[in-house]
Chain A
Amino acid sequence: MDKEPSKKDNQNQEQGDQANNSSLVQKIQQLGQSNVAQAPDSNIHVLSIIGQIEGHVQLPAQNKTTKYEHMLPQIIAVEQNPKIEGLIILLNTVGGDVEAGLALSEMIASMSKPTVSIVLGGGHSIGVPIAVSADYSFIAPTATMTIHPIRLNGLVIGVPQTFEYMDKMQDRVIDFVVRHSNMPEDKFKELMFAKGNLTRDIGTNVIGTDAVEYGLIDGVGGVSKAMMKVNELINNNQGPENQVIQ
């Protein structure tokens, strides 16, 4: 009588061990590590905008893309969830669709909760308005941002009309950046149409500290500074009525 249950237990344990082993092997294969650290719930959420900003056309499968139809509902979810108090936006993008990028920028800019962006690696082209759309922006010292006129590839029907349209679209990008950063419009345009900085192209590649000097980005820094800033903004956002009276 005593033996049977223990045998069953052993079997169960063996099965459990097998399941554990296979998941462990899978973890080691995928991540090169067996366990990840656990931490308490976070009141700050993270939105990563990585790879190309995908617009109306789906890019080939090998491209790493940020799809705005995935991002927009997430921004709404962060805005309406009372447990979430702040948002950090991680940027490492080469740019992409102008209107998808502007949509993301406007959504971030119109949030009521504190937002802080960090440009890591690169925040090029349409990454510039996304970076400045946050309440406060940081750039890693080694990160770069390329400012250049907008471009179009593919078939164009009606060249003069398309040109007008593109010109207006470029003005929208410039307007947005000027409205949400400390950079004067003429300086931004000067960098956008500068010759000689990008070998045979027009535009400027702005690196970390330079972006801060121009007033495009608010500060040079990484994770710790961004976390400090978002916590500071959360405290300011709560106002005196919500604070504990001591």
Chain B
Amino acid sequence: MILYTPLSETDIFPSSDKDFQKRQCASHNGRQVYVEETQDGQYQLLQLLSTDPQDFMNPDYTPGTMLR
């Protein structure tokens, strides 16, 4: 399918509320993290919200990590 339109993709295919409900901002070991709930009920880290550069060196907070 080819769309030729000045509208943005999301104007034509609006993203569902489900996408938002799965994502949330949470606190994990004192650090703010942005997580997504996976199908099996675990939380996968999407983004670490920290200003400390050392936190980004911590292998426990690499994006994609399953949080416990």
Please list the residues of chain A having a beta carbon within 8 angstroms of any beta carbon in chain B: 26-27, 29-31, 35-39, 41-42, 44-47, 58, 60-62, 70, 74, 77-78, 84, 87
Contact = CB atoms under 8 A, between A and B. Distances in A.
Nearest to B13: A60
Interface size class, chain B: 20 to 34
Given A61-B23, A70-B49, A26 B64 contact: yes
B41 interface: no
Contacts of A78: 51
B19 A45 contact: no
Contact of B65 (A26, A38, A58, A84): A26
Contacts of A30: 62-65
A158 B57 CA distance: 51
B29 interface: no
Given A36-B59, A39-B57, A60 B15 contact: yes
19 contacts: A26-B64, A26-B65, A30-B62, A31-B64, A36-B59, A37-B57, A38-B57, A41-B54, A42-B54, A45-B51, A45-B52, A45-B53, A46-B51, A58-B20, A60-B14, A61-B20, A61-B23, A70-B25, A74-B51
